[in-house]
Structure 1
Amino acid sequence: MKRNAFHILVFLLAVAGLSSCKEDDNTVEEYPDWQAKNEAYFNNLYKEAVSEAGTNPKVKVIRKWSLPETRKNPEDFIVVKVLKQGTGTQLPLYTDTALVHYQGRLLPSTTFPKGRIFDQSWTTTEFNPSTNAPRKFAISSVVDGFATALQNMKAGDRWLIYIPYQLGYGPKGNNGIPAYSTLVFDVTLAGSYHPKTTTKENKKKN
C-alpha cells in the first residue's frame, strides 16, 4: 500500500508540473524587456529632439528644474512637443499650485498598442476643457519631470511631455506603473497661483 501511495503521489506531482509549465507557456508578458525598451526609446527621442529644437519652436528639450547646466545626460531632460500655445504670461513657481488637464500613458506594450492610460483628469474620451474640470495640486508634489514641465508652461499651453523614468517613478515604479517606465503626458495648464492667494478658478472651487 505504501509503495502504491508513493507512486500515486509522484504521478500527481508530475501532472501538476506539466500543467504549470503549460500555463506558463500561455502567459503573456505585458512589459517584456521594459527597461531596455524605455531607455532606447527615450534616448532616441532625446537625440532627435535636440537636433530639431534649434529650428522648430514646437519641440523643446528642458533640463530638470533643479539641475545645473553642466548636467547634459538624456535622462536629465524632458522632451516636449507643443500642441497649442496659450495666452498666459506668467510661469508657475515650484511652490505654486497648478490647475491642470492631463492624461498619462505608458509606451506601447503587449496588449496596449497605444500605451496604457494610467491616470487622467478627463471624464470623456477626448479632452474638452468645457466639460472637464482641471485638477488642482501642488507642483512640488508631482514627479520631477512633470514639475519641470509645469514651471515652463503658461496658462493655455497644451504640451505632449515625455519623461524618462529617472524623472518619473524610477526603478521601482508606483501604483501599477512598472519600474523603468517612460511617462507620456498630454497636459494643458489651465492656471496657477501662489500660496495664500486665489484665482478665479480657485474661488469657484471653494
Structure 2
Amino acid sequence: MKKLPAIITLIILLVAAVSCNNEESTWEKYKDWRHTNNDFFTQKDNSVNANGEREYMRVSPVWDAGSYILMKKYKSGNGTKYPLFTSTVDVTYKGYLCNGTVFDSTYTYTDSIVTFKCSSTVTGFAIALTNMVVGDSCEIIIPSYLGYGEQELSAINPYSTLIFGLKLRGIPGYEIQVKP
C-alpha cells in the first residue's frame, strides 16, 4: 500500500514523457512545412504593389494588437454595421493552403451561402469578419497561431497558414453585447 503513491507518480511521469515526445515529434515532423508557411506569411506581409503600397493591410483584433491577419479587399460593400464576435453571419468562401491545396469551399454546396456565428470559427477568420461590412469581398491570410495552430485536421497540416477568398453576404443575427 505504501508503494501505491510512488507507482501512480511513476505512471503520471511516464504519460507526461510520452506526451512531450509526441509534441516534439509533431514539431520536428512538420519543421519544413512550418518554415514554408512562416516564410509565405512573411512574404505576403512584405509584398507591395507597383505603386510601392502594401498589397495587404494588417488587421489586428482589439484584444491583442500584436497579433494580426492580412487582408486584401477586392470589393467594398455598402453595409454600415460590422459583425460582433457573437453575431451570426452569412458568408461564401474558399479556403486553401499556401501550396494551393483547397481544403474547404462553400461553392461545393447546393446553396453556396453558409450561416454561422463568428465565434464558432478560428480566431483569424473571426478577426476578418468583425472587420468587414455586408458586401465586402476580400482575400485573407491567417498565420497558423490564429488558425488551427499545431492541430492536425484531415486536409490541414499543423502550422498551416490559411488563405481564404471571403465575402460577407449578410448579418442575420447582429447580437448586441449586453452589459451586466
TM-score, scaled to structure 2: 0.72
CA shift, 1:195, in A, is: 4.2
Partner of residue 66 from structure 1, selected from 63, 68, 86: 63
Q: Does the 8 A contact of 1:65 with 1:148 survive in 2?
A: no
1:194 aligns with 2:174: yes
Amino acid at match of 1:39: N
Q: Which residue of 2 aligns with 1:47?
A: 46
Q: CA RMSD in A?
A: 2.5
Task: Indicate the residue corresponding to 2:27 in structure 1.
Answer: none
Deviations 1:25-63 (A, max 9, x none): xxxxxx8821110011112222336x99x956x732101
Aligned 8 A contact 1:145 1:168 in 2: yes
Q: Identity of counterpart residues, as a percentage?
A: 37
Does 1:141 pair with 2:138? no
**Cα distance in 2, alignment partners of residues 188 and 132 from structure 1:** 14
1-structure distance, mates of 2:97, 2:62: 23
Is the CA contact 1:64–1:144 (under 8 Å) kept in the aligned structure 2? no
Structure 1 segments, 4+ long, off by >3 Å, are none
Over residues 8-28 of structure 1, what are the superposed CA-to-partner deviations in whole Å (9 max), with x where a residue is unaligned? Answer: xxxxxxxxxxxxxxxxxxxxx
Query: What is aligned with 2:22?
Result: none
Mark the structure with the bigger radius of gyration: 1
Classify 1:107/1:179 alpha carbon distance in 2 versus 1 (closer, same or farther; 3 Å): same
For 2:162 and 2:62, the matched residues in 1 are separated by: 17
Q: Is the 8 A contact 2:45 2:56 kept in 1?
A: no
Answer whether contact 1:164 1:183 (CA < 8 A) is retained. Answer: yes
Structure 1 distance, partners of 2:59, 2:35, is 23
Q: Is the 8 A contact 2:84 2:175 kept in 1?
A: no
Segments of 5+ residues of structure 1 without an aligned counterpart are 1-30, 109-114, 125-130, 197-206
SS at match of 1:33: helix
Distance, in Å, in 2 between the alignment partners of 1:169 and 1:133 is 23
Partners in 2 of 1:189 and 1:95 — Cα distance? 15
Q: Which residue of 1 aligns with 2:108?
A: 123
**Alignment: residue pair count:** 145
1:122 alignment partner, SS class: helix
Alignment of 1:167 onto 2:158 = no
Contact 2:134 2:169 in 1 (8 A): yes
